[in-house]
Chain A
Amino acid sequence: GESVGLHLPTLSVQEGDNSIINCAYSNSASDYFIWYKQESGKGPQFIIDIRSNMDKRQGQRVTVLLNKTVKHLSLQIAATQPGDSAVYFCAEIGNAGNMLTFGGGTRLMVKP
């Protein structure tokens, strides 16, 4: 079936550095993508989203890039802070409905 997956299960960065978390998706019909942050024992928290008619969207310290040609999504976090340590999931919604499909997740560890 269609799926969304990630390249790296764990990413360790130094505090203050930029982080890049990647995600590959397989459903070419997906038209909406969301990045979530999940801290231990908590539900996912919305970070940023992007529609398929865009290739870049910026938020506060975060940027999402979408490359539809290679079906790749990335989340960039600027000046990573210890509070950014969490698991990050990409999720997509296809054109068949409103169900979210989650990727495998990447654990971001920020070293002080």
Chain B
Amino acid sequence: GAVVSQHPSWVICKSGTSVKIECRSLDFQATTMFWYRQFPKQSLMLMATSNEGSKATYEQGVEKDKFLINHASLTLSTLTVTSAHPEDSSFYICSAIPGQGFGGYTFGSGTRLTVV
């Protein structure tokens, strides 16, 4: 089946540094990928929609200059958390849709970011 690989699975960084998270579709091409953030004991909140070859679409309240998204190929989207602060500590998850139409949203395994 369709697989989305996310890397790293966890990362600890110092406050003020930047962290890049990769999301790869391993056996399909994804023109659209989605980035979610999940705080403990909460639901997934959509941060942005990543579109291959064009700018990402950010949800209201998500700072596009802080959460840089690059979708340079049909199999890779990256999320860079710039100048990370402790409040950015969260579980970041990407997803992609194999094929056309509804259904089949496949999620990555998530990245646990801890900013100290």
**Interface residue tally for chain B (C-beta within 8 Å):** 24
Query: With contacts A32-B102, A98-B32, A99-B49 known, is A42 near B44, CB below 8 A?
Result: no
Q: A57–B62 Cα gap in the complex (Å)?
A: 36
Q: Is there an interface contact between B109 and A100, defined as CB atoms closer than 8 Å?
A: no
Question: What 1/0 flags go to A36-63 for Cβ under 8 Å of B?
Answer: 1000011111100101000000000000
A44 with B103: CB separation less than 8 A = no
Q: Which residues of A contact B4 (CB under 8 A)?
A: 43
Point out the residue from B42, B49, B107, B112 that lies within 8 Å of A45, measured CB to CB: B107
How many residues of chain A get a CB closer than 8 Å to chain B's CBs?
Answer: 21
Contacts of B109 in A (CB 8 A): 42-43
Q: Using Cβ atoms and an 8 Å threshold, which residues of chain B touch A103?
A: 43
B78 at the interface (CB under 8 A from A): no
Q: How far is the CA of A51 from the CA of B46 in the complex (A)?
A: 22
Residue-by-residue, is B69-110 near A (CB-CB < 8 Å gives 1, otherwise 0)?
A: 000000000000000000000010101010000111111111
Give the complex CA separation of A34 and B34 in angstroms.
16
- CB of A43 within 8 A of CB of B32, answer no
A91-111 with Cβ < 8 A to chain B:
93, 98-105
**How far apart are the CA atoms of A102 and B110 in the complex, in Å?**
16
Q: How far is the CB of B35 from chain A (nearest CB, A)?
A: 12
- B46 to A43, Cβ gap below 8 A? no
14 contacts between A and B (CB under 8 A): A34-B105, A36-B107, A41-B110, A42-B110, A44-B44, A46-B105, A46-B106, A49-B103, A89-B43, A98-B102, A100-B95, A101-B46, A102-B45, A104-B43
Interface residues of A (CB under 8 A from B): 32, 34, 36, 41-46, 49, 51, 89, 93, 98-105
Given A43-B4, A89-B43, A102-B44, 20 extra CB contacts under 8 A: A32-B103, A41-B112, A43-B109, A44-B44, A44-B95, A46-B106, A49-B103, A93-B102, A98-B102, A99-B46, A99-B49, A100-B34, A100-B46, A100-B95, A100-B105, A102-B45, A103-B43, A104-B43, A105-B42, A105-B43
